[in-house]
Amino acid sequence: MAELVIAVLELLLELLIEVGLNWPVAEADPANRRHITLSLFWQCFLYAVIGCLLAAISLYFFPFTWIKNPQLQVLNLLLAPVLAALAAYWFTKKELVSSSFISPSTRAWKSYCLTLALVLVRYTFGKHA
């Protein structure tokens, strides 16, 4: 049950972040919004910071790791960011038909950074039983 709550909160916060970061520039003319947008590096850095904050909040409420096996924890550390990036890429690719203004690779990198930071902080600071 706890995993489901965290997953739903993570999804809601990611949607809130996407809307919050892209809403001010969504209406701007693409030719004139060069000075408004952040580079991909800084966007990924911002998403990593948000991932760290989400992990810290989740560690406050759920200090123990959910995966008890150390080998599976490392596997989760490696696979979770990659699978999150692939899912973000796929969903954005499907959404491109409805005139999405974010490229699939950009969304995949942001999702990768957020998930990697979240998993790293939980792996590092979570209480291992």
In which domain, by residue range, is 103 found? Answer: 42-129
Residue 2 domain flag: no
Does residue 122 lie within any of the structural domains?
A: yes
Q: Which two tokens stand for residue 39?
A: 């580079």
Q: What is the tally of structural domains in the chain?
A: 1
Within a domain: 1:
no
Domain assignment present for 86: yes
pLDDT tens series, the chain, 129 aa:
667 667 666 766 676 666 555 555 455 545 545 554 567 788 888 899 999 999 999 998 888 888 888 899 899 999 999 999 998 888 888 775 455 577 888 888 999 999 999 999 999 888 876
**DSSP H helical ranges for 62-103:** 70-95
**Entry pTM:** 0.69
Task: Compute the distance between CA of residue 103 and CA of residue 51 in angstroms, rounded to an integer.
Answer: 21
In a domain, 34, yes or no: no
Residue with tokens 């991909």: 40
Q: Indicate whether 36 belongs to any domain.
A: no
Is 66 inside any structural domain? Answer: yes
